Structure 1
Amino acid sequence: MSFDTLTDDIDYQSLKFEEIQRLEERLNEYKVPKNVAIIGPPRVGKSSLMNSIIASFSSKCWRERTREGFVDQPGEQVTHHLIKITKNEYLGSERQKSYPYPTLIDMDGFDDESSDEVKEQLRYVLFGVVPNEENIKDTIRVHTSEGVRGLREICEQEQEHQRMDCLIFVASSVDLLPCNLMEAIKQITLEEERDVPVFGVLTKKDKCNPDETDSKKKEFCSKLGISETRSLLCTNYCGDYDNYKGQSRVNRLYPELDVPILTFMTQVCDPWIKVIRDKALPVRSKSKFSAKTDSVSTGSRWKVVGCGLIIMGVVIFTMYKYVKIR
């Protein structure tokens, strides 16, 4: 484990103040907060990153805003719930709340797959049709069983229905890259109707071999289809760093960890980096689940037509018999 790049010779507190000023200048260029989805496989530090991002915005202390340390057993089916945290929930300063700090969206990890099911789950997340604190798969089941009309009813009932403005994909710098999931992300965000900006974060910098960091970051960016300017290699607020500092992160800040995260988030919040073709619809006829829904809807329509023809035949036959008797 190495924290050699962090030195007491640098005034990180002053640097943090400057980075927050730069971020707020960027935020001042638009009015509506961006919706930023944090996505990745299990056990890579997504929730720790989210808590670290919020701590970097803060002038007070680190707090556990989202649950950390949840570990999935290999082979288990993972549930995917969305948790949205707005600036009014995580910012303590009224001055800061006057700026459109981003809404952060956390969720449990996706398996390293590029299957139709995973792509559909990602599509529903990015189009913002999954209500807060709901299961992604439950929303897909509604679409499958009740069609587009049922899906629209969910969207109309969900007051916080919001599309994602960008995505931060998180992976570990010390584990094998989740190439299948990264390929699914690339297809959904770059090759479909709605082109969503993607950023990437490699966590656990402290555990990564310093001689391999450059090559690891280049491979990560290449697999994700992004430039290195949209990436970050960082150390989150975590137990290992607490041990290095000889104190707990609770009720304190580590500005040396905050500075690189703030620099990265200034890029994420750039108003020039935005969704292309934002009016695209969330339901695609080519998707596995849409195809099921379409077939169900088509079958239902033919049943209605068939019943109508039968009723019409009965009416015509009855009228014929009546005329013949007369």
Structure 2
Amino acid sequence: MVDSWNPSFSDSDSDDNQIYVARDPRKDKHFDRKQELLWNCKGKAGKVGQGKEPLVIAVIGPPGCGKSSFLNTIFAAFSHDQWTERAKYGEFGRRGKQVTRRLTSFKKKDYYTRDRYEGDYLLPTFLDMTGFEDDDDPLNTELLNIILCGKLKEGEELHKVINHGKNFDVNSVKEKYFGGKYFGIIPKHEGMPNLLDYFVIENREEYHRVNRVFVVCSANPDQPLPEHLFEAITNITNRERDITLYGVLTQADKYKSRDPKVLKREKEFMKALGIPKNRFARIKNYCPDIDPNMTYEDNIIPSLDVPVLRLMRQVLTAEPTDQDDEHRKTKKGKYVPNLSNPCVAFIAAAVIVAFVLFVLFKLFVFFLRI
């Protein structure tokens, strides 16, 4: 097999240029740059023993936007050998809407294969989920909120959240995943302090605390932007958590950046998410359109990897809230006990038992007086 050159390829780094696919990736002019960016990314991610935890990055987008392809391109960019389909392409129902499946996480061990001497780098965990429809349904928004707040377990079926809300209501979903007063709200009686007012029982611990969000959308200027979805994402990240958003337009090989319609879409995309240009990227994914011979199944393409790694270097830059404990606090500043901890569960149970005994004692004294 010979190297494949496109006649329109030039030395410019413009994303309007075609990709050079070489049988030997070391012949790609971007090969050295990829190695440099890889070291940059690993250095920013840090190592075990430095008091850090791997970042958790959620990847969100409407159905058919190229989200799974983008994830696989990220994994290839971190790879030293070849592209692999790790994030499976979504299935679509009869009406063209994606079938919700399960929340899936990709940890470092799932996508980064290197020798044993590089096993201690804290590369991020990526959360993959169904494509969200562009609607303002409160249940759809609450599902997104639950995911971004890390309340879903690995492999948990997303449609169960929606079904629970349809069978009961949105408030029931909030109580199930975010907790509420144990045994409901017990009214106070004069002279009897309600000890339960001082305790909030958390039904769910945080399984995946999201630190960053990739919002993915197609660069196709003829497709409307999912404004309702974007509004829900920005409201949740601003209201519930201080989560940094990054915007990615896929299919950069099909829709050229010099096209005025594409330029307009980029501006509207960034404006809708409220992000600056340094948190925006146009990405070409690994696909047969880039390489009809699909040689990327045997080799990497550094020309595709460099833009992704440049973006990841920015994403992995440490932020003040990455390692703090603010996510464990309620809005009033009080810590929320986690009942998965046996000690906390014992204390909570002891308080409840003490309260019940206190009430029984008061009733006993009351009946003695009459």
TM-score w.r.t. structure 1 length?
A: 0.76
User: 1:84-103 counterparts in 2 under 5 A?
Assistant: 84-93=105-114, 94-103=116-125
Amino acid at match of 1:22: N
The aligned counterpart of 2:300 is: 253
Amino acid at match of 2:160: D
**Greater share of residues in helix:** 1
Which is worse superposed, 113-122 or 52-61? 113-122
Which is worse superposed, 62-71 or 250-259? 62-71
Distance in 1 separating the partners of 2:82 and 2:294: 13
Q: Which runs of 5+ in 1 are unaligned?
A: 285-307
By how many angstroms is 1:127 displaced? 1.1
SS in 1 for 2:291: helix
The aligned counterpart of 1:185 is: 233
Instruction: Count residues with an aligned counterpart.
Output: 287
Distance in 2 separating the partners of 1:196 and 1:161: 16
Amino acid at match of 1:168: F
TM-score w.r.t. structure 2 length?
A: 0.68
By how many angstroms is 1:72 displaced? 4.6
Q: 1:80 to 1:268 in 2, by over 3 A?
A: farther
Q: 1:277 to 1:75 in 2, by over 3 A?
A: farther
Distance in 1 separating the partners of 2:248 and 2:329: 26
Q: Is the contact between residue 41 and residue 178 of structure 1 (CA under 8 Å) also seen in structure 2?
A: yes
1:230-287 deviation digits (Å, cap 9, x = unpaired): 11101111121222xx334322211110000000011111112746996356999xxx
Q: Is the contact between residue 270 and residue 280 of structure 2 (CA under 8 Å) also seen in structure 1?
A: yes
Which is worse superposed, 209-218 or 129-138? 209-218
Whether 1:38 and 2:59 are equivalent positions in the alignment is: yes
SS in 2 for 1:249: helix
Distance in 2 separating the partners of 1:168 and 1:283: 26
The aligned counterpart of 2:270 is: 221
Q: Which of 127, 130, 142 is the matching residue for 1:105?
A: 127
SS in 2 for 1:258: helix
Q: Percent identity?
A: 32
User: 1:1-326 counterparts in 2 under 5 A?
Assistant: 4-6=16-18, 8=20, 11-28=29-46, 31-68=52-89, 70-74=91-95, 76=97, 78-79=99-100, 81-93=102-114, 94-139=116-161, 141=164, 144=172, 147=176, 148=179, 152-155=202-205, 161-174=207-220, 175-190=223-238, 192-210=239-257, 211-212=259-260, 213-243=262-292, 246-272=293-319, 274=321, 279-280=326-327
SS in 2 for 1:207: coil
Q: Is the contact between residue 193 and residue 277 of structure 1 (CA under 8 Å) also seen in structure 2?
A: no
Amino acid at match of 1:81: R
Distance in 2 separating the partners of 1:179 and 1:136: 22
Amino acid at match of 1:105: L
SS in 2 for 1:84: strand
1:148-203 deviation digits (Å, cap 9, x = unpaired): 27994553xxxx8121011111000013211111111111112x132211111100
Amino acid at match of 1:182: F
Q: 1:136 to 1:273 in 2, by over 3 A?
A: farther
1:14-49 deviation digits (Å, cap 9, x = unpaired): 111111122122223863110000011100111111
Distance in 1 separating the partners of 2:276 and 2:28: 28
Q: Which runs of 5+ in 2 are unaligned?
A: 1-7, 9-14, 21-26, 166-170, 183-200, 332-358
SS in 2 for 1:242: coil
Q: 1:220 to 1:80 in 2, by over 3 A?
A: farther
Q: Is the contact between residue 53 and residue 323 of structure 2 (CA under 8 Å) also seen in structure 1?
A: no
Distance in 2 separating the partners of 1:109 and 1:283: 30
